[in-house]
Chains A and B, each alone.
Chain A
């Protein structure tokens, strides 16, 4: 069985984000990066499927600048067999351009299963997975919280979480793409022996410019802004009638929401 997992490196949620002077994006120097948590579920699931299938090969793929090699190595340290790094060559990619590049890498490599996060926690768009499936013309199920290999190992039963605690259960045969949700598994930590072993695992280097086939991003970023700082709360004291009156007045005159 051949499994691909797609991972994205994103700013750590603890990092203080600053905007570039030209407002085209965020300042990337001095940021601490992590693997997007939903992508970590994808890596872990790839390892579990491989273990359950009793063999196979798992490849981790990431598009981005050189720094994403660290994320790829981390996945290799967790147990993934090989990596592919697609250099973004200093360019910004929207969901569509990302999907085009990744689909072109995935095509013709014979993957049975493609795993990705349900979304990356930076842009929170959740578009790349479904777009890739569309471009490759394969089925996809997003927001999965359970994945069971079928007895013949030619497909899976995937459980997708839907609003209000509902579930949808899909029986789906390979090749297919799955977007992983929290709860699917608990990712293992990269152990030190694993990190040492990962040093010698191969990472294939590709260039995004060779893989775009003329496609252009559909989104441009004109004006990035930080959300306004949260202001200190206001406490209304006094008797209940006064509090209610004052609250309505503030909502109308200060917050201007009613």
Chain B
């Protein structure tokens, strides 16, 4: 199942793919153990990624991007899985796929100048602040408020599970600018949400007063990722940081989820491919009852089944990529890809642990980490239940 045989990728995509792979193998993977253990990746790595043009693949050249088609992004995401740090990879994707594209789409020239240009260079890091302690799936009823006061917004509330949260320079913050959620406004609550590009530091480099990063969250997996709880107490932010129009935030958030879910699907497929390859390698070497375990028909059939399901999930994902790349509405396809790949990756990881036997339960084997890390995928970027809701709606049920 090589990518050369898929018509989506041209020679240039393949050159780029190899370049990313070699960067990943030399600059990231050698530090994997250390960064997983220390539970963070140095901020400077973003600059290195920026120097290679990895942080502005599809963004306009005017702001330092490369203006490439989406398939370059696909190649990048697929090769990034080879750093074997789902956590750090997620940090990067939050920056490249969940924040900067929407700033590019909706931002003013001044906002792009301030945020996008240094973000593409990797000098500034972006985070996405939607989920709150009170709820993540239910975006329409979020409670963090932004009250207008002259030329400022005054922001109060809390966000949690925020990737890149403790080191972000800008947080794309979903806030309530409309009336508070009450029994009367409950139905129309989604019309009171806005997106604000929240600077964590002011122009003088001082921490924005009232903003604080809470305790470090101890996670099941994705250890190399920075996940934080954030609190906002009377934070005064100039209105120039409003992204797009006031009270249109809910639509922006929903729209922004598309890129996030698609990239998650792409990475899930690439992750499955990698873990299956690892498992086959292991199964060829590991002997039981006098022969390599890979030669037992039970395992040959199980792997054949998984490869088949992966192939189907991969093509659905590529179909969604193709539509997304051509700017054709594809909420249904993306939601389907996200649902299918995130469920499948958990099944594949479980089977691969099983094939590894006891070693699959031991940290020295990568599959042990992967099994924990992929658990996030049916939860983050919209849960499987929410995906089914969307698909039901899109299908006209």
Contact = CB atoms under 8 A, between A and B. Distances in A.
Q: Are A and B associated in one complex?
A: yes
B14 A70 contact: yes
Interface stretch (B48-56, B195-203, B220-228, B359-367): B48-56
Contact of A74 (B19, B51, B67, B72): B19
A: contact size bracket: 10 to 19
A34 interface: yes
Contacts of A138: none
A195 interface: yes
A192 B52 contact: yes
B2 A32 contact: yes
A73 B11 contact: yes
Residue among B19, B66, B72 facing the most chain A CB atoms (10 A cut-off): B19
A69 B15 CA distance: 10
Given A192-B52, A193-B53, A199-B12, 12 more contacts: A32-B2, A34-B18, A70-B14, A74-B18, A77-B15, A189-B52, A190-B15, A192-B57, A193-B66, A195-B15, A195-B19, A198-B15
Interface residues of B, number: 20
Contacts of B185: none
Contacts of B72: 192
B23 interface: yes
Contacts of A199: 12
A30 B53 CA distance: 29
A193 B53 CA distance: 6
28 contacts: A69-B11, A70-B11, A73-B11, A73-B15, A77-B19, A189-B19, A189-B22, A189-B23, A190-B16, A190-B18, A191-B19, A191-B51, A191-B52, A191-B53, A192-B19, A192-B52, A192-B53, A192-B54, A192-B57, A192-B68, A193-B53, A193-B66, A194-B53, A195-B12, A195-B16, A196-B12, A196-B67, A199-B12
A27 to B, nearest CB: 14
Contacts of A32: 2
A73 B15 CA distance: 8
B287 interface: yes
Contacts of B19: 74, 77, 189-192, 195
B22 A73 contact: no
Interface of A: 30, 32, 34, 69-70, 73-74, 77, 189-196, 198-199, 232
B53 A70 contact: no
A226 to B, nearest CB: 15
A232 B15 contact: no
Nearest to A32: B2
Given A73-B15, A74-B18, A192 B2 contact: no
